[in-house]
Amino acid sequence: MIRVLLLPLLILPSTLSAPSPLFEKAKALVLISFDGFRFDTLNSTIAPNITSWAAEGVLFKNGVQPQASTVTAPNHYSIVTGLYEDAHGIVGNIFFDAERRKFYDIYNLSSIPGTIEESLNPYWYTSETIWQSNRKAGGHSAVVHWPIGDVASGNDNETSFHAWREHGNLSKWQDEVEVVIDSLLEGKNLVAWYISEPDHTLHTQGFYHDGHFRRVMADLDVTFGYFLNRLKTLELYNTTDIIFTADHGHAEIRSLDVVLCMDEYIKGQIGVDYQVSDYTVLAYTEQQAIEVFESLTKAVAEKQIPAKVMWTKDVPAEWHFSHPSRLGQVMVLPEIGTDARFKCPWKDPATFHSSTHGHAPEKKEMRAVLAMRGPSFAEKREIDSIPQNIDIFPLMGKILGVPIPANNGTLERVELALRSPPSTEDTVEDPQLMNSNIARIFNILLILMPIAVLSIILYYIIMRVRRGPNKQLAADLTNEATEPML
């Protein structure tokens, strides 16, 4: 019985790890991606609204690492599935599946008619997204222009999809904020929202030409600020978690002289005599692959372009960038400041202003922004470590409280962002959090004190009951011993 009474003493301390009652519980999570938003372009001059918002919440100040290949479609799929590209199979914006004999080209980079429609076929997308996990657990989601988000879900009538191809230009962004807001008002507990800038502007204008980049960042910042104000006005701000990130960073190309136009050095015609992915060449024979390798190696040397021509099978294992049927044998890996493209339709150095991505994922310039704020997250916490974008998936699963499938993400790399992370040397408790812990300990003691007193009293009573007959027996024995034997 005493053991039963003492059982609460063993159980109740575990409630110390529960969320603080001082904060409201999150009712919804909004995942935002601004395409190509590099982590180190977030500052109070360029984006004051986003910067001040991030400073109040959690900021991974060194950004988040994308997956190889560091391009748009596969990384957006990695963020919402937690999978490496070779695991979910979308290994580029463009690739040829030699087994299926089908061409994937979601942005029609090849200008081949019908490729976008082919790329929208659901058979390309076999991995579970966070909104599918949410739906299985009874949640409701909205997907607002997330790249390939609408086709990656198969038949799902319970999720509101706004097709990624219909993402608007600058003038429509405030309307899209209202789509996100309406989704929250409808009771959606997960919204994935995508905007195609600053990537588009960077590709055409670069970082430094004529103020284009600053202007688009200012517009994005106003849009973000408008979104926050709408949340506050509707009293949704304190119950909404926001994760703000991007698919990759960007790197300015120094000049047209350091761009390798690969089609100029490979015999034949793309799509006929050989196939390509973003940065690999798929030759039809081993001999042809050797010729491509030697030709591109010679071109890089002659033009003195800082790029590495390599066999795809030799890419670093930690990239998890391999596929039995969707990657070519030869890969060109340009250094930061350079680029390698299969076609170069723009060849006038006078009008060339460009930035790009697709470089090695561990390069600083390829890292995307990552910040978060809301009831599930710590406040005013800067984190030095660099997670991968696949880690966002298990983090979302934890916040939403939904079971998620096996994935390549690591929750431990991002859980320092949570309001009550596990105790580690890197954790910095903020005063408000410490006060809430003290309050919880005090509440537990109020519960335990009467139980402890009652336990002691019962213990005393039981011992008295047990001890009574024994004492009488002892007295009898004493009497027997002291009386003379007759």
Give least dist CB 85 to Zn ion, A. 14
Q: Which is nearer to Zn ion, 36 or 361 (by Cβ)? A: 36
Q: Is 35 in the site for Zn ion (CB under 5 A)?
A: yes
Q: Which is nearer to Zn ion, 153 or 245 (by Cβ)? A: 245
Q: Which stretch binds Zn ion (CB under 5 A): 31-39, 163-171, 250-258, 322-330?
A: 31-39
Q: What's the rounded Cα separation, in Å, for the pair 377 and 416?
A: 9
Number of amino acids touching Zn ion (CB under 5 A) = 5
Q: What's the rounded Cα separation, in Å, for the pair 67 and 75?
A: 6
Q: Please state the φ and ψ torsions of residue 211, each to the nearest 5 degrees.
A: 75, 10
Give least dist CB 275 to Zn ion, A. 23
Cβ neighbours of residue 12 closer than 8 Å, sequence gap 6 or more:
444, 447, 448
Mind spelling out the 3-state secondary structure of 401-426? CCCCCCCCCCHHHCHHHECCCCCCCC
Q: Which is nearer to Zn ion, 35 or 415 (by Cβ)? A: 35
Q: Which stretch binds Zn ion (CB under 5 A): 33-41, 97-105, 363-371, 433-441?
A: 33-41
Which residues within the stretch 201-230 sit at the binding site for Zn ion (CB under 5 A)?
A: none
Q: Is 295 in the site for Zn ion (CB under 5 A)?
A: no
Q: Which is nearer to Zn ion, 84 or 293 (by Cβ)? A: 84
Q: Which is nearer to Zn ion, 72 or 436 (by Cβ)? A: 72
Give least dist CB 245 to Zn ion, A. 12
Burial class (CB in 10 A: 0-12, 13-18, 19+), 94: buried
Give least dist CB 337 to Zn ion, A. 19
Q: What's the rounded Cα separation, in Å, for the pair 370 and 62?
A: 9
Give least dist CB 247 to Zn ion, A. 4
- Pattern of binders to Zn ion over 301-340, x per CB under 5 A? ----------------------------------------
Contact 26, 237 (CB under 8 A): no
Q: Which is nearer to Zn ion, 36 or 206 (by Cβ)? A: 36
Q: Is 134 in the site for Zn ion (CB under 5 A)?
A: no
Q: What's the rounded Cα separation, in Å, for the pair 62 and 384?
A: 6
Which residues within the stretch 45-104 sit at the binding site for Zn ion (CB under 5 A)?
A: 72
Q: What type of residue is 342?
A: F
Give least dist CB 167 to Zn ion, A. 12
Q: Which is nearer to Zn ion, 36 or 149 (by Cβ)? A: 36
Q: Which of 128, 247, 365, 415 binds Zn ion (CB under 5 A)?
A: 247
Q: Which stretch binds Zn ion (CB under 5 A): 42-50, 244-252, 348-356, 474-482?
A: 244-252
Tokens in use for 393?
């998936």
Q: Which is nearer to Zn ion, 36 or 57 (by Cβ)? A: 36
Q: Which stretch binds Zn ion (CB under 5 A): 51-59, 239-247, 282-290, 345-353?
A: 239-247
Question: How many C-alpha atoms does 206 have within 13 Å on its Cβ side?
Answer: 14
Q: Which is nearer to Zn ion, 247 or 278 (by Cβ)? A: 247
Give least dist CB 259 to Zn ion, A. 19
Q: How far is CA 279 from CA 104, 330, 458, in A?
A: 14, 8, 77
Q: Which is nearer to Zn ion, 199 or 415 (by Cβ)? A: 199
Give least dist CB 389 to Zn ion, A. 12
Q: Which stretch binds Zn ion (CB under 5 A): 30-38, 344-352, 438-446, 460-468?
A: 30-38
Q: What type of residue is 144?
A: V
Give least dist CB 440 to Zn ion, A. 44
Q: Output the residue with the shortest Cβ distance to Zn ion.
A: 72
- Pattern of binders to Zn ion over 167-206, x per CB under 5 A? --------------------------------x-------
Give least dist CB 78 to Zn ion, A. 12
Give least dist CB 93 to Zn ion, A. 9
Q: Which is nearer to Zn ion, 88 or 373 (by Cβ)? A: 88
Enumerate binding residues for Zn ion (CB under 5 A). Answer: 35-36, 72, 199, 247
